[in-house]
Amino acid sequence: MCLEFWRLFNQWCKLHIGIDAKTLQIRAVQLTTNDVSDSQVSEDLLNQIPSDERIDSVFIPMEFMTLSAADSSF
């Protein structure tokens, strides 16, 4: 999930967040420039989750994916 967050010096920033679907607790965050897609930071977000915690699924809305990310297997 990404939010086009605010504009600094004519540059949009995005806040990418990872949320636990059951508890709605924010589990991972990454702030990037506008030109970085969710698929580019997905590994960084997943690495913020402790390795002993189970991840049942990962969902990236298609409208936020780049063509190359949509073509590759996650």
Identify each DSSP E strand in 20-60 by its residue range.
Answer: 26-33
- The mean pLDDT value for 5-20 works out to 74
Of the two residues 13 and 24, the one the predictor is more confident about is 24
Q: Distance between the two ends of the chain, CA-based, in angstroms?
A: 15
- The mean pLDDT value for 19-47 works out to 89
Could you tell me the CA-to-CA distances from 10 to 6, 13, 18, 33, 34 in Å, in that order? 10, 10, 26, 11, 11
- The mean pLDDT value for 19-37 works out to 89
Q: What is the value of pTM for the model shown?
A: 0.63
Return the pLDDT at 14: 86
